[in-house]
Amino acid sequence: MIMRNSLKTTAAAFMLVALTGLTGCATTRDLDTLKAMVEKAQATADAAAAAAAAANSSAGEALACCKANTERMDRMFKDSMNK
C-alpha cells in the first residue's frame, strides 16, 4: 500500500514536471508571437492616430474656410440690400 502511494506520488510529480516543461516552452514561443502581434498593432494604431490628426487638421482648415465664406456671403447680401 505504501509503495503504491509512493508510485502514484512519483508519477504525479513526473507528469507535473513534464507538463510544466512543455508549457514553459510553448509559453515562451507564444509570448514571442504575442509580442510581435502587439508591436504590429501598436504600429497600426500609431499610423491611424497620425491619419486622424491629419484629417482633424484638414477639417479645421475646411471649417475656417467655410466660416470665412459664410461671412463674405453675409456681407455681400447686406451690401445688396443696402443698395
Which tens digits make up the pLDDT trace of 34-44? 889 999 999 99
Q: Does 65 score more than 60 pLDDT?
A: yes
Mean pLDDT of 54-80: 95
Q: So what's the pLDDT on residue 25?
A: 62
Q: So what's the pLDDT on residue 4?
A: 61
Residues 58 and 41: their CA atoms lie apart, in Å, by 26
Instruction: Dump strand ranges (E) for the chain.
Output: none
Mean pLDDT of 19-26: 60
Q: Quote the Cα angle for 30-36-39, to 5°.
A: 140
Q: Does 52 score more than 60 pLDDT?
A: yes
User: For 1, which DSSP code?
Assistant: -
Write the single-letter amino acid at 8.
K
User: How does pLDDT run across 3-19, given as a tens digit for each residue?
Assistant: 566 667 777 776 766 66
Per-residue exposure over 36-62, b if at least 16 CB sit within 10 Å of its own CB, e if not: eeeeeeeeeeeeeeeeeeeeeeeeeee
Q: What is the pTM of this model?
A: 0.53
